[in-house]
Amino acid sequence: MKVMKLKVMLIAGGLGFLAFLGLLAFVAIFISNEEHSSDSGDFIHDIDDVSVSKDVLKHQPMVEKYAQEYGISEYVSTLLAIIQVESGGKLKDVMQSSESLGLPPNTLDTEASIQQGTKYFSDLLHSAERSDVDGNTAIQAYNYGGAFIDYVAKRGSQYNFELAENFAKERSGGSKVTYSNPIAVKKNGGWRYRYGNMFYGATRF
């Protein structure tokens, strides 16, 4: 089954609302900053229908370079969105990809982070395709790890929020933490399980 980019919501606390057009549908990114000033690094720019901050936008050439290298140039918008969610483009390890190599968080420098993050996402997309699961699963797997792809493959092969929620519940032993992101507040009153971010690739609420 060909991996398709579907309507996705990527959530991370401490950022605001962003929306972008995917290959076949709109990809919506929710982040929690409420104000963006044109004089600050948080000013939002649209590039190829992706809304990102100036701090993220400056990484676009490097993202395009490695997306081409790993054969996923059509996912540049998604990769920029991941950077927006993971770091807002402000951390050295902008894609927070050190841990995908088994390294401590924030070990990689910026270029190494983008190279590894892009490679890792490419690997997840290929794994999703081999397992005959949808592209939304690969996006959530960037946050959860590749085991989520196998989890979805055994449960209908189609991403849904309940699967993401149950995966986090199982991995956390049911332990919950307060999560004040507006989307979480709307969905369940403001909590998530203490494992990853179950809202990372949610398609609807």
Q: What is the distance between the alpha carbons of residues 101 and 117, in angstroms, rounded to a whole number?
A: 10
Q: 50-95 pLDDT, tens per residue? A: 578 999 999 999 999 999 999 999 999 999 999 988 999 999 999 9
| Helical H segments across the chain, by residue range | 54-57, 60-69, 76-86, 110-130, 135-144, 147-153, 161-172, 182-188
Q: 120-154 pLDDT, tens per residue? A: 999 999 999 999 999 899 999 999 999 999 999 99
Domains and CATH numbers, the chain: 9-34+42-193 (1.10.530.10)
Share of residues in the chain with pLDDT > 70 (%)? 74
Q: Which of 49, 48, 113, 125 is nearest to 87 (CA)?
A: 113
Average per-residue pLDDT for the chain: 80
DSSP state of 181: -
CA dist 125 → 41, 75, 205 (Å): 31, 10, 24
Handedness of CA 143, 149, 150, 156 (dihedral sign): positive
pLDDT score at 67: 98
Q: Which of 205, 187, 203, 181 is nearest to 26 (CA)?
A: 203
Query: What residues have CB less than 8 Å from 61, skipping those under 6 apart?
Result: none
Specify the DSSP element, H or E, that contains 9.
Answer: strand 9-12
Q: What is the distance between the alpha carbons of residues 122 and 9, in angstroms, rounded to a whole number?
A: 19
Res 34 pLDDT > 70: no
Q: Do the beta carbons of residue 22 and residue 5 sit within 8 Å?
A: yes
Q: What is the dihedral of CA 197, 171, 204, 71, to 10 degrees?
A: 70
| pLDDT tier for residue 46 given thresholds of 50, 70 and 90 | low
Q: Which of 204, 205, 199 is nearest to 10 (CA)?
A: 199
